[in-house]
Chains A and B, each alone.
Chain A
Amino acid sequence: MIGDEIEIRISRIDADVVKIGIHAPRHYSIYRNEIYKQMKEANMGAARNAEGSLPKLDLARKAAQPTR
């Protein structure tokens, strides 16, 4: 247990892999809801549904390009 609320359970040990489950009480979903909201807003802000070109992105020229 971590503190009074978070319980870590080891659910499976298989070769080198240990599966760890973290069980947290419901109020942790408050954080989760905030983040979901943030993710939804980020997605909506990122969606491009209008015609229009991307701005010229300098990164393409500066970064080393992999050969294709």
Chain B
Amino acid sequence: MKLATETQNNTATDQHLLHLPYGLIGLPKLTTFSLSPIENSWPFMSMKWLGPERMDFVVIDPSGLIPDYEIELGDEDAESLEIRSAEEAQVLNIVTVHSSRPHFVTVNLVGPVVVNRHTNIGKQIIILNWGRYSSQHSLIDQRTRINAA
């Protein structure tokens, strides 16, 4: 994905810079990220904080992966991102690989990161229809398969 970016030294076509002025919820300092695929791990992508310490997040674009997932964006959020239609929005949901149970992978459907495709400015929002979804929606649960093997 090629994008116009502020930093001229990024010419990698596989990378994509995102700016979240408010950071992530509870982590307001994490404002600038690069987004790139993870080798051999489609659909998972890596959203890497570009700050001094390592802080990476695994994310997915839910389109085509999560059935019946409809995001209701609040008015103020849509306006602050200048998003007027679904086509202008890129949605990324943060994935948790549960370290205590590494075959258990969930995705946060309540707090997506919504990015304006043109400006690459985004925000982690809480969807208005939060009651309908889980912040730990199970993507993979290989535990039973492992036990059965």
Which of B4-12, B95-103, B114-122 is the interface stretch? B95-103
B3 contacts partner chain A, Cβ-Cβ < 8 Å: no
Choose from A35, A59, A65, A66 the contact partner of B130 (Cβ within 8 Å).
A35
19 contacts between A and B (CB under 8 A): A11-B75, A21-B75, A22-B128, A39-B111, A40-B25, A40-B26, A42-B108, A46-B58, A46-B94, A46-B96, A47-B27, A48-B57, A48-B58, A49-B53, A54-B97, A57-B44, A58-B140, A60-B41, A63-B65
The total number of A-B Cβ pairs within 8 Å is 98
Q: What 0/1 readout, one digit per residue, does chain B (127-139) give for beta carbons within 8 Å of chain A?
A: 0101000011001
A46 engages B27 (CB within 8 Å): no
A55 engages B40 (CB within 8 Å): no
Describe B's contact surface by its main secondary structure: loop
In the complex, chain B residues 23-69 whose Cβ is within 8 Å of any chain A Cβ: 24-27, 38, 40-44, 53-58, 65
In the complex, chain A residues 6-62 whose Cβ is within 8 Å of any chain B Cβ: 11, 17, 19-22, 32, 35-36, 38-49, 54-55, 57-60
A38 engages B135 (CB within 8 Å): yes
B24 engages A43 (CB within 8 Å): yes
A47 engages B57 (CB within 8 Å): yes
B81 contacts partner chain A, Cβ-Cβ < 8 Å: no
A20 engages B75 (CB within 8 Å): yes
Choose from B44, B84, B130 the contact partner of A54 (Cβ within 8 Å).
B44
